[in-house]
């Protein structure tokens, strides 16, 4: 058995771990905007656009974490992150390392991957089949 064969058997577990951690991290960005936890740069009342973004991040992250409607939610969040990158980060500088948009790009492409891969193991979606 080759190393690739051995690693392939763990692919569903790695996908599940990727989905869980992505959901948690994304949810954290939402709770930071909506609840001020963890404490961050957004203090006081939020502009409407950030409020909507906070709702998408908190509830979309939760849906990704539990694996609920993973593919459609990931599709929406992928597009959301692409728009967020081009509206908020790209105007500052061309390079993501300089404009603070590397997380937005990573989230965008992880969500795109989840659109095609599905949720993996331990997902509400798996009980709805």
Give tens-digit pLDDT for 28-63. Answer: 999 998 888 888 765 556 688 888 999 999 999 999
- CA atoms 67, 72, 73, 74: torsion sign: positive
Q: How confident is the model at residue 129 (pLDDT cuts 50, 70, 90)?
A: low
**Dist CA 6 CA 58 (whole Å):** 36
Query: Tokens standing for 25?
Result: 């991290």
Does the pLDDT at position 5 exceed 70? yes
- Structure confidence by residue, pLDDT tens digits, 68-77: 999 999 999 9
Q: How confident is the model at residue 99 (pLDDT cuts 50, 70, 90)?
A: very high
3 state SS of 15: helix
Residue 23, Cα to own-chain centre: how many angstroms?
Answer: 6
How far, in Å, CA of 103 to CA of 57, rounded? 13
- Regarding pTM above 0.85, the answer is yes
Contact 69, 23 (CB under 8 A): no
Q: Rounded to whole angstroms, how far apart are CA atoms 102 and 72? A: 23
CB 129 within 8 A of CB 34: no
Per cent of the chain over pLDDT 90 is: 81
């Amino acid at each position: 058995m080759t190393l690739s064969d051995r690693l392939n058997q763990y692919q569903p577990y790695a996908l599940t771990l990727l989905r869980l951690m992505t959901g948690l991290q994304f949810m954290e960005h939402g709770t930071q905007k909506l609840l001020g936890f963890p404490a961050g740069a957004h203090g006081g009342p939020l502009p409407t656009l950030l409020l909507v973004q906070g709702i998408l991040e908190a509830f979309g992250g939760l849906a990704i974490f539990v694996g609920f409607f993973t593919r459609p939610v990931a599709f929406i969040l992928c597009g959301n992150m692409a728009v967020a990158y081009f509206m908020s980060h790209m105007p500052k500088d061309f390079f993501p390392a300089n404009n603070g948009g590397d997380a937005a790009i990573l989230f965008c492409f992880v969500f795109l991957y989840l659109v095609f891969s599905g949720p993996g193991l331990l997902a509400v979606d798996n009980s709805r089949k």
